[in-house]
Structure 1
């Protein structure tokens, strides 16, 4: 982890916040009240995006996959078609839709972005794109302002999951990322020598969240 990754995270967060602010103005509401469907509806109405629910057999008519597929973004110069696996549980569908919207927002070249259940077939470039889309999905599903508001109100972890329509593993990653880069930046600025940066940051973040919000994310 280095300053380049901090800068990338900040760049992604700024893009997510800019979109949230646009939707706030369009719907005349506060970010803490926005849910995943507000985002998808806004982009469908304003950015020539079509959301298409498909089952596994229908996916096989579009792309050949061996392991199964969560979602797919097909882009050209006119529009984007975002397909998602309608046989998955609801929280997985929500994450997939936001993940594919992440591809639409971040990766401007016109090509196909499959979200595979197993990542064996990803190139190194694919892995970078997938990581960015995953981060963006977390930021859109549980936007920073809403997360902070619920934490300030001491809402329990399960409440947050239901509020955002997000799975427990996805929310754990979102909360970790939300505080991780702030902690990392402080470590780098203070030039601390840490053998296991991830473990140190994880412990620091867990302690911080529990101390301030009485919320455990282990």
Structure 2
């Protein structure tokens, strides 16, 4: 059973609204910049999509250069979720030792609650419920075509859109 992540929906909508980015397909890079998070693109191991490092002087999201654009967008949104939801849980080390949160293959299994929250935040951020409700009216009637249409509109993978619609109760 899926936990109630309404607080995450609200947090994602709030951050988008406050930063004038409440629209489908917004720039996650621009949001990171507005939140004072540095982005670094690097070649990472195949099983690591990205990670968030917080030090006493900087917040950095590093994402895998080898991943496709849509995966990179989701990874950045996921790591922004860690920043907004969990950074107060992690100590900021004065001795320059960073606090690190990884997004890897196990992140998508939903076994770790913070990873599940970060995934829910990324989905809510990239595919806000209110915008999905507005755009679904414009989508084709065929389910597969609707998923393709919405995925392109929100700049996410078809798999991410399918999960999001299912989690919103669209019976996909």
Alignment TM-score > 0.5, same fold:
yes
Query: With structure 2 as the length reference, what TM-score do the two structures score?
Result: 0.80
Structure 2 residue aligned with 1:42: 31
Q: CA deviation at 1:154?
A: 2.9
Residue 168 (1) aligns with residue 147 (2): no
Structure 2 residue aligned with 1:54: 42
Q: Determine if contact 2:40/2:61 at 8 Å carries over to the other structure.
A: yes
Query: With structure 1 as the length reference, what TM-score do the two structures score?
Result: 0.65
Q: Determine if contact 1:53/1:86 at 8 Å carries over to the other structure.
A: yes
How far apart are the structure 2 equivalents of 1:154 and 1:164? 12
Q: Determine if contact 1:55/1:86 at 8 Å carries over to the other structure.
A: yes
Q: Which has the larger radius of gyration?
A: 1
| Cα offsets for 1:64-93 (capped at 9, x unmatched) | xxx621001001233210000010112111
How far apart are the structure 2 equivalents of 1:43 and 1:90? 16
| Cα offsets for 1:153-183 (capped at 9, x unmatched) | 234220111111111111111112223xxxx
Q: CA deviation at 1:143?
A: 1.5
Unaligned residue ranges in structure 1 (runs of 5+): 60-66, 180-204, 207-216
Q: CA deviation at 1:22?
A: 0.6
Q: How does 1:113-152 map to 2 (within 5 A)?
A: 113-118=101-106, 127-152=112-137
Structure 2 residue aligned with 1:89: 68
Aligned length: 156
How far apart are the structure 2 equivalents of 1:178 and 1:76? 36
Q: CA deviation at 1:151?
A: 0.7
**Higher RCO (Cα < 8 Å, 6 or more apart):** 2
Please point out which of 41, 46, 50 is paired with 1:71: 50
Q: Determine if contact 2:147/2:162 at 8 Å carries over to the other structure.
A: no
The structure richer in helix per residue is 1
How far apart are the structure 2 equivalents of 1:171 and 1:150? 12
Structure 2 residue aligned with 1:197: none
- The Cα RMSD (Å) is 2.2
Unaligned residue ranges in structure 2 (runs of 5+): 93-98, 141-145
Please point out which of 157, 168, 175 is paired with 2:147: 157
Structure 2 residue aligned with 1:62: none
Moved over 4 A (4+): none
